[in-house]
Amino acid sequence: MTYSPLGFPKIKNVTNLADLTFVKDQVGTTIEDLEGTAVTYTPSSDAVSVVYELMCAIAWSPDSAASFMNLRLQHSTDNATWTTYDNTKIFAGNGPENNDNNWHIYSMSFTVPAWTGQRYLRLVARAWSSSSEFTWGRSYSISNGEMSGFCPMISVYSVV
């Protein structure tokens, strides 16, 4: 598939991911894989860059002082040894507050140089401190209470 609105750069080879088996995850101060963000991707042969887009949710639990997420995009050729892309580290959240019960919906986009062949992509994150931990993908319904999770929605595509 190729898409080119009004002569802007074209996008090709779109991959979308929304893992409906997703389960929310409490994130502490140790770097960890973020559930539902792993994608195997091969850019179009004429790509100049690759875009990894994310829509996700984090919430205040397990503590009520702050919610600060240190997130980054990583890549691997063997799905075992991982490297963080330069300039993809994001610090997001809020606090400190006396009673942080905030829920955050984020939309993020990372643009990286294209490569040849297949790579594995994933997001990893940690909390800023032990008093700013958060829950990745927490969801809540007024009628049903705590839910299984808000799965991250991922799109990866080549720009030519």
In tens, the pLDDT along 18-68 reads: 887 877 888 888 989 988 899 999 999 999 999 999 988 777 766 766 677
How many structural domains are present in the chain? 1
pTM, two decimals, is: 0.84
Q: Who contacts 30 (Cβ-Cβ below 8 Å, separation ≥6)?
A: 126
| Best CA proximity match to 157, nearest among 86, 109, 85 | 109
| Best CA proximity match to 103, nearest among 59, 55, 150, 149 | 59
Tell me the CATH number at 94.
Answer: 2.60.120.660
The pLDDT assigned to 43 comes to 97
Domain that holds residue 148: 12-159
Are 86 and 74 in contact by the 8 Å Cβ rule? The answer is no
Say which residue the tokens 């088996």 belong to. Answer: 21
Q: Does residue 7 lie in a domain region?
A: no
Q: Does residue 1 lie in a domain region?
A: no
Collapsed DSSP state (helix, strand, coil) of residue 68: strand
Collapsed DSSP state (helix, strand, coil) of residue 34: coil
